[in-house]
Structures are given as structure tokens and as C-alpha cells.
């Protein structure tokens, strides 16, 4: 991966709560595609939305593309807590979020199948393909 310790990706679940020590390395991608360093703040957590929440919200909420860049001078410690749907959950935006101005953006999917696809995806040029975008458009 080169300078990246973890290829860019969005988490497959609903929510990730991350404790990060004082070492930098986590970067978040903006809508415009630019990477920004996330500076750790003492006694705080970083909260990222995942692709399942993006699909459940019919795209109203954006999942966070992120990566970890190796800085080299010290070890970095982070502790993630992943909140995910049950494996047998069918992910589908509720009808209240779908109308003629906001058509359904994602096909229905079983979380276990989506998770298996995420686990079996290989990074290409340091990026994991965004699996949720494969479900966009019905």
C-alpha cells in the first residue's frame, strides 16, 4: 500500500466510534475528493457513518471515506467500535424517505452478503472499491 497503512474505504456497518491516541494518521476524504488529516483531540471519539446507514437513509447521510497514512515516527493506536445491523438484516430505505423527488437510490441487500463482499474486496491503487455504489440505481 506504500504510505498507506489502511487502504481508503467506507465502513460497511451503520456507525463506527473510534478512539484514537495522540498520533495522527487518520484521513477523511471530502465530497470534492481531497484528503484531510484528522487531528486527534484528547479525551474524544471520532464518529463515522457507514455504508449501511447511507443505504438506509436513501443517501441522505453520507458514509465517510477514510484511510490511515503511515507517519513512521511512532506506533499509532486506535480502538474502533463498530455498530452493525444483524447479519440477516435486509437493508432497504423506508418508504418515508422515497418519493418522486427522492427516488430509491440503492437496491435492497442482505447485510451478511454486503459484509462478505466488503471482506473479499481487494484494494486497487490503494483504494477499496466503494461497494455501496455498486448497488446504486435499480
**Residues taking part in catalysis:** 76
Among residues 51, 58, 62, which one has the least CA distance to residue 113? Answer: 51
The number of CA neighbours under 13 Å toward the Cβ of 76 is 21
Amino acid at each position: 500500500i506504500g504510505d498507506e497503512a489502511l487502504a481508503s474505504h467506507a465502513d460497511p456497518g451503520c456507525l463506527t466510534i473510534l478512539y484514537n491516541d495522540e498520533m495522527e494518521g487518520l484521513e477523511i476524504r471530502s465530497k470534492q475528493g481531497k484528503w484531510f488529516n484528522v487531528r486527534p483531540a484528547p479525551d474524544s471519539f471520532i464518529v463515522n457513518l457507514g455504508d449501511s446507514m447511507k443505504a438506509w437513509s436513501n443517501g441522505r447521510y453520507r458514509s465517510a471515506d477514510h484511510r490511515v497514512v503511515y507517519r513512521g515516527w511512532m506506533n499509532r493506536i486506535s480502538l474502533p467500535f463498530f455498530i452493525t445491523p444483524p447479519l440477516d438484516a435486509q437493508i432497504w430505505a423506508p418508504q418515508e424517505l422515497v418519493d418522486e423527488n427522492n427516488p430509491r437510490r440503492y437496491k435492497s441487500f442482505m447485510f451478511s452478503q454486503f459484509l462478505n463482499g466488503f471482506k473479499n474486496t481487494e484494494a486497487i491503487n490503494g483504494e477499496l472499491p466503494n461497494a455501496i455504489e455498486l448497488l446504486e440505481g435499480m
